[in-house]
Chain A
Amino acid sequence: MTTQAVDAPASAPQRPAGGQRRRRSGIERRQNVGWLFIAPFLVVFAAFLVFPLVYAFGMSLFSSTLATGTKFVGIDNYLKAFTDPLFLGGMGRVLLYAIVMIPAQLIVAGVAALLLDTLATWLSKASRLLIFAPYAIPVVIGALMWSFLYSPRFGPASTIFDLFGLDAPNFLSSDNIFFSLVNIVTWQWSGYYMIVIYAALRAIDPAIYEAARIDGASGFQIATRVKVPMISSSMIMVITFALIGTLQFFTEPTVLRSVASGALPADYTPNMYAFALAFSYSQFNYAATIAFSLGILVFLGSFGFLFLTRKQNGLK
């Protein structure tokens, strides 16, 4: 963008050569100053993102097994990764999570934001804070807290179910762990997405609502026919965040593993698998491959999603 703007006057015809040069060098000087400002970012970016990525990619091209030495294998590790049932199984699992969890988060966040947008009492401020609060709790702490709430002995579930003469389900069993995790993530993130959607709603000109009301639209109709379409680009952004977050699912199952390791194997999600490979099984090269493959899939997934929704998200 900037280069084009700079080039434009330079290529403009019929200008005295001297003036052109002077102006150009002035702009160049300004450009150089710009580099100074972004240099700190570039250094950090290169040191902590570009270099590790390159390094990890390099590692993924080698193979080092326990009994033999390290050797160059090219893309063999990638061929292995994309036929590895543990990696593919983990991918399948996070996709299933994406299908269940993203709509759940979106519905909770969307409904809360629409309701708060309509309310204008002191209650709405308090509610906004309350719904947002879980996001302010560190993910690890939140997951630890839920691991206690789910606990058959310490959790409130058995007391509550006892009131109705029922046996509480074991939230940490293999059958229930899926929805237990969906619940934690939804609880944690809906508040954040609600704020994003709420902010988008506040940016809409109230005159539009008035026009809709004059046309005879009910509150529900305004919400679904006017507000939702107008904030679709924010919705797309929220879904993209949620999609990336879900495909990288790691913290919550890792924390819950300490109380439910039977229901959550070490390769439950691709991220966990990469972690286990590197730090439990000493397979650093293959771990780099898995991590890189996951990165590629997440990139393709989010890129594909943004491409499919390019009409709504304004990135066209």
Chain B
Amino acid sequence: MKSKLLAASGVVAVAAAALTGCSAGDAAESCTNEIVNPDATQVSVWAWYPAFEEVVDLFNQNHDDVQICWTNAGQGNDEYTKFSTAIESGSGAPDVIMLEAEVLSSFSIRDALVDLSEYGAAEVKDDYTEGAWKDVSSGDAVYAIPVDGGPMGMLYRKDILDQYGIPVPTTWDEFAAAAKTLKDAGAPGVLADFPPNGRAYTQALFAQAGSVPFDYDNAKPGEIGIDVADQGSKDALSFWADLADQGLVAVDEAFTADYNTMLVDGTYAIYVAAAWGPGYLQGLEGTDENAVWQAAPVPQWDASNPVQINWGGSTFAVTSQAKDPEAAAVVAKEVFGTEEAWKIGIEQAALFPLWKPILESDYFRDLEYPFFGGQQINKDVFLDAAAGYAGFTFSPFQNYAYDQLQQEVTAVVVDGSKDASTALDDLQATLETYATEQGFELK
């Protein structure tokens, strides 16, 4: 009985045990891949890219002095949790880690990342677009090397739109009209889904309407500007809330088994997606055999003044626990710095490269995608989207900001308990309180 009662504080024990013991494993000892040159400096890498093993092998074969020792420490939050724990305990982090651009600030503020400007980041700066570089840098500091991006476009079911005589929407007004046409025609599905847990997706749609939620510079980590209740965000959220209210779009949670099925079985005629979307769709089961997928640019608020947006994208950062930051920086800069590596990434894992030599190559521009019936989607859609993307600033408490955003969006589009304006005003207040509590000065 007594031990049962003591076990009541179990989470303390779990959390503390995770902090003290479990994280001390030495990543360098257990490589998933084989080391080609055992005498060379080994750099441990955490990454979850599909088909990454071949990229690692390629790197190891081409380098005599540095070798990658790769471990898959889980995807997204799973990896971040391990990394975060390793930072807290002071050991156990790899030398190089795959991070999405949105969490870079959250880790750099904890002094977990090495400023790569001291390790030759400038040499490769010109290999990336301005927007991509802005996502990984802050002032003069560079916290990671960009790898892949998520410029957004619109994937649509040509067969469904044709069946109901709906033209491909180019603006959000046309999008709303198309949703109504589809519903009035009694279609079994809806035009699209607006997932309340879309987080980065929602943020991207808001950004298209002019939202610049955070003003933050890693060089001055004590200050932050928060502006999440701007008119653009309010307009964008009311637009979707209005469609959801009329039943013209679904508000299913994204990335659940249900959602995955509905993406490919024709329930949603349009999937507003990032460049990695096709790769995601291809991996799903329950696909409609009659599906004819095509890609088009993302709808615009103002067709004469298009705004390109980005959803997701990953980078390689060097951690502050790296034993040899110089060698680690070589890995971060060069692992996806060859055409051969990128061909593996593009053809096997559907990654969208941010590395200009391949991004601007004829090979990538003219690549035909069988999934889209041979459409050259890069030329038609994603290259423009990537080129027009101006970059984005995330907050150093992005996970918290996303969780709060998700709750407010749920309140608006699912529960209907708040209107868009109130919800975003509440979000502003919540984030300001949080930032102040965390010791930030509000700009």
Contact = CB atoms under 8 A, between A and B. Distances in A.
Contact of B257 (A148, A240, A284, A291): A148
Interface in A254-290: 258-263, 265-266, 271, 274-276, 278-282, 284, 287-288
Interface stretch (A113-121, A130-138, A212-220, A242-250): A242-250
B439 A291 contact: no
Contacts of B396: 66
B122 interface: no
A259 B12 contact: no
A37 to B, nearest CB: 17
A294 B9 contact: yes
Contacts of A307: none
B13 A49 contact: yes
Contacts of A57: 12
B258 A259 contact: yes
A291 B9 contact: yes
A57 B13 CA distance: 10
B320 to A, nearest CB: 15
Contacts of A248: 8, 10-11
A279 B256 contact: no
B400 interface: yes
Given A66-B440, A151-B257, A279-B84, A302 B106 contact: no
Interface string A139-170: 00000000010011110000000000000000
A35 interface: no
B257 A295 contact: no
Contacts of A20: none
Contacts of B5: 244, 298-299, 302-303
A284 B256 contact: no
Nearest to A175: B415
Contact of B88 (A51, A284, A294, A295): A284
Interface string A49-77: 10111011101000001111000000000
B211 interface: no
A183 interface: no
Interface stretch (B54-62, B231-239, B345-353, B403-411): B403-411
Nearest to A301: B8
A265 B403 contact: yes
Contacts of A244: 4-5, 7-8
A66 B4 contact: no
Nearest to B16: A52
B105 to A, nearest CB: 10
Given A154-B258, A259-B257, A302-B5, A276 B403 contact: yes
B15 A48 contact: no
A287 B88 CA distance: 13
Contact of B11 (A174, A250, A303): A250
Contacts of A303: 5
B50 interface: no
Nearest to A41: B3
Nearest to A267: B403
A143 to B, nearest CB: 14
A241 interface: yes
Interface in A220-240: 240
A176 interface: no
Interface residues of B, number: 50
Given A174-B415, A244-B5, A294-B11, A260 B253 contact: yes
A127 interface: no
Contacts of B88: 282, 284
Contact of B16 (A241, A288, A296, A298): A288
B11 A262 contact: no
Of the candidates B85, B106, B109, B257, the one having the most CB atoms from chain A within 10 angstroms of its own CB is: B257
B110 A66 contact: yes
A295 B150 CA distance: 44
Contact of B8 (A51, A274, A302): A302
B414 interface: yes
Contacts of A48: 13, 17
Contacts of A274: 11, 15
Contact of B15 (A65, A260, A287, A302): A287
A292 interface: yes
Contact of A154 (B6, B19, B221, B257): B257
A31 interface: no
B221 A67 contact: yes
B20 interface: yes
Nearest to B78: A279
B261 interface: yes
A280 B222 contact: no
A280 B399 contact: yes
A240 B5 CA distance: 10
B296 to A, nearest CB: 27
A64 B428 CA distance: 23
Contacts of B407: 262, 265
Contacts of A266: 403
Interface in B70-117: 77, 81, 84-85, 88, 106, 109-110
A65 B253 contact: no
B222 A67 contact: yes
Contact of B253 (A153, A241, A259, A295): A259
Given A66-B397, A153-B261, A281-B397, A53 B106 contact: no
A165 B16 CA distance: 53
B11 A275 contact: yes
Contacts of B12: 52-53, 56-57, 288, 291-292, 295
B325 interface: no
Q: Indicate the member of A65, A247, A248, A280 with the most B CB atoms within 10 Å.
A: A280
A65 B77 contact: no
Contacts of A173: 414
Of B5, B81, B196, most A-chain CB atoms within 10 Å:
B5
Interface centre among A56, A68, A244, A302 (most CB of B within 10 A): A56
Nearest to A262: B410
B262 interface: yes
Interface of A: 48-49, 51-53, 55-57, 59, 65-68, 148, 151-154, 173-174, 240-241, 244, 247-248, 250, 258-263, 265-266, 271, 274-276, 278-282, 284, 287-288, 291-292, 294-296, 298-299, 302-303
The 8 closest A-B CB pairs, nearest first, are: A295-B9, A52-B16, A67-B439, A262-B410, A68-B439, A298-B8, A65-B439, A56-B12
Interface of B: 1, 3-13, 15-17, 19-20, 77, 81, 84-85, 88, 106, 109-110, 196-197, 221-222, 253, 256-258, 261-262, 396-397, 399-400, 403, 406-407, 410, 414-415, 437-441
22 contacts: A48-B17, A53-B6, A53-B12, A55-B19, A66-B438, A67-B441, A151-B257, A154-B257, A174-B415, A260-B253, A261-B197, A261-B406, A262-B196, A262-B197, A262-B410, A263-B410, A271-B11, A275-B15, A280-B77, A280-B403, A291-B9, A295-B8
